[in-house]
C-alpha cells in the first residue's frame, strides 16, 4: 500500500515530508521519494526504506517550502529507483505522485509515445504526468484545468498530488 504526504507553508518542507513518510512506513512499501520546490524542483527517490532516502539526500540541497512525498508498493513496474515516485513531466515542470491504479495507462501511453513523449519508468503514474503536461500545453489551460481534463481520460481508482514550477501556488 502506498502513502502520500504533502507540505506547503512558511517552513522548510523536507523534515515534514520525512516525518510523514516515516509515519506511513507501517503500511509497507518498496521505495520512497520526495520532490522539493523553491525556485527549482528537486527530486530525491530511492528503492528501499525512508532511512535510505534520508541517507541518499544528505548533503544535497533540501531547501523548499513546498514538497510532496511518497512511499510506493509496486503495482506497475518492478521495485527500483527509476519506478519510485515522484515522476517528472517531460519538461521537468511537473512532479506527480500517485496512489492507485490507472487501468487504461497502456492505451494512453501508446498515444503519448506516438506524440514524442519519452518514458523513463514502467509505471502507470508517469503516463498521467505526461498527459497532464500535454493537455496543459495543447489546450493552453492552467494546471488545475489540465488535471481535471486528464482525469476525465483516466480509468481507475487513485489519489494524486502534484507540484509545478510554473504553477507554484496551485
pLDDT digits (tens, 9 = 90+) for 32-91: 999 999 889 999 999 999 999 999 999 999 999 999 999 998 787 788 899 999 999 999
C-alpha–C-alpha distance, residues 84 and 57, integer Å: 15
pTM across the whole model: 0.94
11 is a domain residue: yes
pLDDT digits (tens, 9 = 90+) for 104-138: 999 999 999 999 999 999 999 999 999 999 999 99
Torsion of CA 79, 156, 26, 31, to 10 degrees: 20
Look at the chain and report how many structural domains it folds into: 1
Element at 136 (helix H, strand E): helix 125-139
Question: What is the domain-level CATH number for residue 133?
Answer: 3.60.20.10
C-alpha–C-alpha distance, residues 64 and 105, integer Å: 31
What's the chain's Rg over C-alpha atoms?
A: 15
Cell of 12: 522548510
169 is a domain residue: no
Cell of 101: 491504479
Domain housing 123? 3-164
Amino acid at each position: 500500500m502506498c502513502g502520500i504526504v504533502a507540505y506547503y507553508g512558511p517552513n522548510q518542507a523536507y523534515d515534514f515530508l520525512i516525518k510523514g513518510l516515516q509515519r506511513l512506513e507501517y503500511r509497507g512499501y518498496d521505495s520512497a521519494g520526495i520532490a522539493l520546490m523553491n525556485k527549482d524542483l528537486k527530486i530525491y527517490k530511492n528503492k528501499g526504506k525512508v532511512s535510505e532516502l534520508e541517507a541518499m539526500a544528505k548533503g544535497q540541497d533540501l531547501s523548499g517550502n513546498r514538497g510532496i512525498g511518497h512511499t510506493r508498493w509496486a503495482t506497475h513496474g518492478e521495485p527500483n529507483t527509476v519506478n519510485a515516485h515522484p515522476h517528472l513531466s517531460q519538461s521537468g515542470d511537473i512532479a506527480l505522485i500517485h496512489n492507485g491504479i490507472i487501468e487504461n495507462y497502456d492505451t494512453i501511453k501508446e498515444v503519448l509515445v506516438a506524440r514524442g513523449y519519452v518514458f523513463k519508468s514502467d509505471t502507470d503514474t508517469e503516463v498521467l504526468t505526461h498527459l497532464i503536461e500535454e493537455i496543459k500545453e495543447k489546450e493552453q489551460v492552467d494546471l488545475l484545468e489540465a488535471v481535471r481534463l486528464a482525469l476525465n481520460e483516466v480509468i481507475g481508482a487513485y489519489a494524486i498530488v502534484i507540484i509545478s514550477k510554473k504553477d507554484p501556488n496551485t
